[in-house]
């Protein structure tokens, strides 16, 4: 079955700097890759997603890139702000209803 | 409703007790999912409903776990004879599509078994 690895587990950046979180997946059948942000005491919130027929997608300060050949995808946050501090999860889905999540990255944006 | 609502937010159970966790999905959402999130980990799939049909229960850890969605809206996850290893946050998600694209998660129920 699918296995998703996520790095780093923790990331501290200065406000205004960029943050990059990387994930790899194992199942070449996976074709949908969402990213979720989880704040303390809340459920995960979808922030951006990408499908396997697209190499990059951008939404304001957030972008996701996908390399199907290498089976890895990354989340890029530019101009980080204190409110970006949270735990971020990547996930992979083989075109069905089931998501396989990574283990999460705790992002701290230092003011 | 505006979002996925779960209740209770917190539940403390003594080992051996039965618990029932409730999920109110977004109105009209066909698909409903339950995930289990252990401390410091990503969510793990438990089960999937399309309307009232439970199409996949492969993630349920044991036969002590049971989920239902009798009228295709509200769902209940029941855990019988709770054990310490059941302590986790139980997340419910719903989607308007038959596939899982674009889940909306609830805030979860934090279950602590003592």
In chain A, the residue whose alpha carbon lies closest to the alpha carbon of B91 is A43
Contact A97 B108 (CB under 8 A): no
Residues of chain B found within 8 Å of residue A36, distances taken between Cβ atoms: 105
Q: What is the pLDDT of residues B9-32, one digit of tens each?
A: 999 999 999 999 999 999 999 999
For every residue of chain B, DSSP letters joined together read --S-EEE-SEEEE-TT--EEEEEEPPTT--EEEEEEE-TTS--EEEEEEETTEEEE-TT--STTEEEE-TTSS-EEEEESS--GGG-EEEEEEEESSSS-TT-EE---EEEEE-
A101 CB neighbours in chain B (<8 A) are: 42-44
B105–A101 C-beta distance less than 8 A: no
- Over residues B27-75, the pLDDT tens digits come to 999 999 999 999 999 999 999 999 999 999 999 999 999 999 999 999 9
pLDDT digits (tens, 9 = 90+) for A12-68: 999 999 999 999 999 999 999 999 999 998 999 999 999 988 899 999 999 999 999
| Residue A102 to residue B103, Cβ atoms within 8 A | no
Confidence category of residue B1, pLDDT binned at 50, 70, 90: low
pLDDT of B100 strictly over 80: no
Find chain B residues with C-beta within 8 A of A49's C-beta. 101-102
Nearest CA-CA distance, residue A55 and chain B, Å:
18
| Cβ separation A103–B41 shorter than 8 A | yes
Residue of B32, B43, B49 to mutate when probing chain A, most A C-beta within 10 A: B43
């Amino acid at each position: 079955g699918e296995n998703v690895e996520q790095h780093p587990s923790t990331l501290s950046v200065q406000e205004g700097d960029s943050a990059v979180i990387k994930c790899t997946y194992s199942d070449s059948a996976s074709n949908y890759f969402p990213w979720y942000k989880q704040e303390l005491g809340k459920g995960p919130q979808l922030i951006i997603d990408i499908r396997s027929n697209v190499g990059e997608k951008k939404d304001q300060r957030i972008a996701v890139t996908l390399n199907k050949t290498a089976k890895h995808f990354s989340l890029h946050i530019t101009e980080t702000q204190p409110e970006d501090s949270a735990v971020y999860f990547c996930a992979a889905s083989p075109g069905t209803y089931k998501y396989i999540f990574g283990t999460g990255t705790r992002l701290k944006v230092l003011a | 409703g505006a979002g996925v609502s779960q209740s209770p937010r917190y539940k403390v159970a003594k080992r051996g007790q039965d618990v029932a966790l409730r999920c109110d999905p977004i109105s009209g959402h066909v698909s409903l999912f339950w995930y289990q999130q252990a401390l410091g980990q990503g969510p793990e799939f438990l089960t999937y409903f399309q309307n009232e049909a439970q199409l996949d229960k492969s993630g349920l850890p044991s036969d002590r776990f049971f989920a239902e969605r009798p009228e295709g809206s509200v769902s209940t996850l029941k855990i019988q004879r709770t054990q310490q290893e059941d302590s986790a946050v139980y997340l419910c998600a719903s989607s308007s599509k038959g596939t899982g694209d674009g889940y909306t998660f609830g805030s979860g129920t934090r279950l602590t078994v003592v």
